[in-house]
Every structure is written in C-alpha cells, then in structure tokens.
C-alpha cells in the first residue's frame, strides 16, 4: 500500500522486453536495499516488484497485464518515473490509500496556469465517471491529488508548485497519457451498493 506522496523520481535507464515479459531499469537517488528485493514499489502509480538492485538503480519486472493497463507500453528510455516505497504500519497517511493497481490510462486534454498552479483537464471514458466525485481523491502517475472539477468528458485537477517540483507531473504535456487509479474506498462502496 502507498499514500501517493511522491518525494523522489527516477529515470528509465533501460527497457528489456522478453516475449510477454518486460524489465525496466530505473536510475534514481532513491536507495534500493538488498533486503527490499522482491518488495513492491510504486512506479508512476503501478505497483512493481523490485527484481534486483544496482548502483543507484533498480530493476523492475513488468507483466503483460501491467503493460496492457498502463503507460509503460509507451515508455521509452529517459522517461521520468515517480517512485514511492510501500508504507509500513504506523506511517502517517498524508495523501490517500493508493494500491498501485492502475485502473486505466487517461489523456491530458488541456493545461492552464493560475499563478504558479497548474490546472490540468483529463479525458475519461464515461464508464469510469461513476468512480470520481468533486473534491474526491485520485492517483495520477501515483501522485495523490484532489479532483477540482467534474467535466463533461473527464475531470480537472489543480497541482501546486511543490507537487510539480517533486513529481513527473511537471513534464506532462497536452496529449500525453497518464496512469489513473481511482479511490479504493469509492470502488468498494460502488460494488457494495451494486450487490444489494
């Protein structure tokens, strides 16, 4: 489990594809420890397994399912990746509960500025609109953000300068794709109501 508070990023150093499997090598100032091999790390919102570690780098396994569900099928060498290690019991949750299970990808439709704050509009298929609510939580590339406005064909978020500085959101451009994970509490409530 993660909380979407990103403090470090990495850069894709190498992409290795073997049949239906893929490995990403990510260079970063984040310290990957030997005893963390096999553990889960959020890589731009996708929960990936640390396969091995090198000097200032980590190698991650990406399954075919993850490739199909995330932006990693479009990734290239040099891309910046948000990184977050899994939480420990007792850690403060400053964002919201993020599982690292990407629900879909979304297209960036428009970016505008209000002072130093970015307002970003995202396109979202109507099938997913039931999972979003005004002022509700959403994870974009693993970053815990608040939905500022519901739009006809999507939603808008507001990103403050500190978040831009610490995450790969600052590199996002119009027509880019991002990983989306909807709030798990909203998904549970939706399924519960559907079942009764």
pLDDT in tens, 124-134: 999 999 999 99
Write down the pLDDT at residue 195.
66
CA trace torsion 102, 158, 97, 70 (10° rounding): 10
pLDDT in tens, 134-156: 999 999 999 999 999 999 999 99
CA distance 170 to 52: 29
Q: Using 50, 70 and 90 to split pLDDT, how confident is the model at 196?
A: low
How far apart, in Å, are the Cα atoms of 196 and each of 62, 129, 190, 193?
37, 21, 10, 5
Question: Are the C-beta atoms of residues 28 and 56 closer than 8 Å to each other?
Answer: yes
Write down the pLDDT at residue 115.
95
Question: Are the C-beta atoms of residues 164 and 170 closer than 8 Å to each other?
Answer: yes
Write down the pLDDT at residue 18.
81
pLDDT in tens, 52-93: 998 899 999 999 999 999 999 999 999 999 999 998 887 878
Under CATH, which number does the domain 8-85 receive?
2.40.30.20
What are the domain boundaries of the chain? 8-85, 104-195
Query: Which of 108, 128, 120, 102 lies closest to 163, judged by CA?
Result: 120
Choosing among 2.40.50.140, 2.60.40.10, 2.40.30.20, 3.40.50.300, the CATH entry for 104-195 is 2.40.30.20
What would the 3-class secondary structure string for 162-195 be? HHHHHCHHHHCCCCCEEEEEECHHHHHHHHHHHH
CA distance 55 to 76: 21
CA distance 149 to 127: 18
Q: What is this structure's pTM? A: 0.92
175: CB partners within 8 A, 6+ apart: 107, 108
Pairing of strands 8-18, 137-140: unpaired
Q: What percent of the chain has pLDDT over 90?
A: 81
């Amino acid at each position: 489990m993660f909380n979407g508070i990103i403090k470090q990023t990495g850069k894709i150093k190498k992409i290795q594809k073997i049949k239906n499997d893929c490995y990403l090598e990510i260079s970063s100032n984040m310290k990957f420890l030997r005893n963390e091999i096999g553990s889960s790390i959020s890589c731009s919102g996708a929960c990936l397994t640390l396969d091995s570690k090198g000097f200032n780098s980590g190698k991650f396994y990406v399954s075919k399912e993850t490739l199909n569900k995330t932006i990693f099928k479009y990734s290239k060498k040099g891309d910046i990746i948000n990184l977050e290690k899994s939480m420990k019991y007792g850690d403060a949750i400053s964002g919201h509960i993020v599982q690292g299970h990407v629900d879909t990808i979304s297209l960036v439709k428009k970016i505008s500025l209000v002072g130093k704050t970015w307002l970003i509009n995202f396109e979202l298929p109507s099938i997913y609109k039931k999972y979003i609510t005004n002022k509700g939580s959403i994870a974009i590339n693993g970053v815990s953000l608040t939905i500022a406005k519901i739009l006809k064909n999507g939603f808008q978020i507001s990103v403050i300068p500190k978040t831009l500085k610490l995450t790969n959101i600052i590199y996002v451009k119009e027509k880019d794709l991002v990983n989306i994970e909807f709030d798990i509490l909203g998904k549970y409530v939706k399924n519960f109501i559907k079942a009764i």
